[in-house]
Structure 1
Amino acid sequence: MLHKTRGVVFKYFKYRDTSIIVKVFTEAFGLQTYIVNGVRSKSSRSRIALYQPLTLLDMVVYKKNATEINRISEVKCNHPFSTISTDIKKTYIAIFLAEVLYKCVKEEEEDVSDLFNFIYHSIEILDHLESGYENFHLQFLLKLSHYLGFGLESPKDHFLTMEDEDLGLLTHLVNNSYEAHVKISNSLRRTLLDHIVRFYKVHIESLKEINSLNILKEVI
């Protein structure tokens, strides 16, 4: 049976010579696994761009409850990126966040509408921000924790060893919009990120190594 849904790409894996297995977080069914045949062939190389990290899709998909891997009937990019694919800092933010999402969002999630809308609209904002997005990944993780069930509405209850000034920054980030930029030094930003990642690892058993973390720290 065919269904229309929006989706956010988390990750894809090469499969055989020209195909891929792609993990897409869908509005209708949560995290789904699809096989896409021939997408890596010479005649179809441009289509692989549809499956880059955090690409926003409109899809028509097959859904069989007894099948772990389904197929995509139709797909198009809902929001072609204007900056995420060209700004190296945004590109690595996207790669990092996609990896975290892939490891944190579970396939058995049922009511995903709030989580999906948060992720989808956050990505749109990242693409539209012209400046002041250096802290975006920090804010995203802080806000995401709420939708994953271990929210950080009051950082001081979770980061007992942090200085009051740093706790104030986290409180500002979690309670304000992405557009409400606050200036943070690169070294402090990395320290805050380490604290947030450690906090995530306490609550998400599958979040062990984050391969893109060190690269992100080098560019932002």
Structure 2
Amino acid sequence: MTVTKSGFILSYLKYNDVSAIVKIFERENGIESYFIKNIYLRQNKKKSYLSPLMGIDFTASESQKGLPQITKISVSDSTKELEYSIINNAQMMLAAEFIAKVIPYGEPNGIVYDLLSEYCKNLSQNNALAFYLYKIIKYLGYGFDFSDAVYFDTKNGIFTNESSTFTLGEELSQIIRSIDDFSFLNMGLKNTHRKKIIDILMDYCGHHIADFTSPKSLEILRQIL
């Protein structure tokens, strides 16, 4: 039996030099694993498809032993027009690793899938990564509590008038206040602020999402931004 599906590649592992095991986030089935035979053969031009958050359309055949096997693969419209650069690749790597950490294996999540699709369409926007990471965090039930108070508490996700170890300064607190608004996508930010906000989101997840640890790709992104 064969089925045709679409999804985003989250990670991949080389197997026996020429093949790979791929973890894919699908709209209908959530995160699933597949086997791709001979993808690393020299003459196989599709090995470049194995990239974090690459959107793919694929055909898979069920296997009585082991993982289902991908027999046909192509780049989907969701990422076909993306400009691949060092910065974009690093951001997509972080987003893919983040999804793998917060979405349970095999659990459908159409809303997060749609947010990822939107993120890919808006990747060229200055602050797309932080904006959509927050949107996913909010959907998972851990959105910030916005108020008119001055300082943002990075541990509890609230605004307060009392400064503490976990509160930001007024300037960065004001930036965080805008993170849930579409105007944040193109807000002019210093790279230091952009990196700090992503760090804040990852630390916040560590306080609120069970077993969450910062993605390994976070350090790569810090060095590139």
Q: TM-score, normalised by structure 1?
A: 0.83
The CA RMSD over aligned residues, in Å, is 2.5
Q: What is the aligned partner in structure 2 of residue 163 from structure 1?
A: 169
Q: What is the aligned partner in structure 2 of residue 199 from structure 1?
A: 204
Out of 109, 118, 121, the position equivalent to 1:121 is: 118
Is 1:33–1:68's contact at 8 Å kept on the other side of the alignment? Answer: no
Q: What is the aligned partner in structure 1 of residue 162 from structure 2?
A: none
User: Would you say 1:32 and 2:32 are equivalent positions?
Assistant: yes
Report how far residue 67 of structure 1 moved.
7.4
- Amino acid in the other structure paired with 1:54: L
Q: What pairs up with 1:125-136 in 2 under 5 angstroms?
A: 125-126=122-123, 129=124, 133-136=125-128
Report how far residue 164 of structure 1 moved.
3.9
More divergent stretch after superposition (154-163 vs 74-83): 154-163
More divergent stretch after superposition (66-75 vs 164-173): 66-75
SS at match of 2:143: coil
Report how far residue 57 of structure 1 moved.
1.1
Report how far residue 83 of structure 1 moved.
4.3
Q: What is the aligned partner in structure 1 of residue 52 from structure 2?
A: 53
Q: What pairs up with 1:7-156 in 2 under 5 angstroms?
A: 7-44=7-44, 46-62=45-61, 69-79=67-77, 80-85=79-84, 87-110=85-108, 112-126=109-123, 129=124, 133-152=125-144, 154=146, 156=152
After superposition, the Cα gap between the structure-2 partners of 1:148 and 1:119, relative to the gap in structure 1 and judged at 3 Å, is: same
Is 2:119–2:128's contact at 8 Å kept on the other side of the alignment? Answer: no
Out of 158, 171, 176, the position equivalent to 2:182 is: 176
Aligned residues with identical type, % of pairs: 20
Q: TM-score, normalised by structure 2?
A: 0.82
Please give the alpha-carbon distance, in whole angstroms, between the structure 2 residues aligned to 1:159 and 1:175: 17
After superposition, the Cα gap between the structure-2 partners of 1:20 and 1:69, relative to the gap in structure 1 and judged at 3 Å, is: same
Larger Rg: 2
After superposition, the Cα gap between the structure-2 partners of 1:144 and 1:117, relative to the gap in structure 1 and judged at 3 Å, is: same
Is 1:20–1:35's contact at 8 Å kept on the other side of the alignment? Answer: yes
Q: What is the aligned partner in structure 2 of residue 212 from structure 1?
A: 217
For structure 1, which runs of at least 5 residues remain unmatched after alignment? none
- Amino acid in the other structure paired with 1:145: I
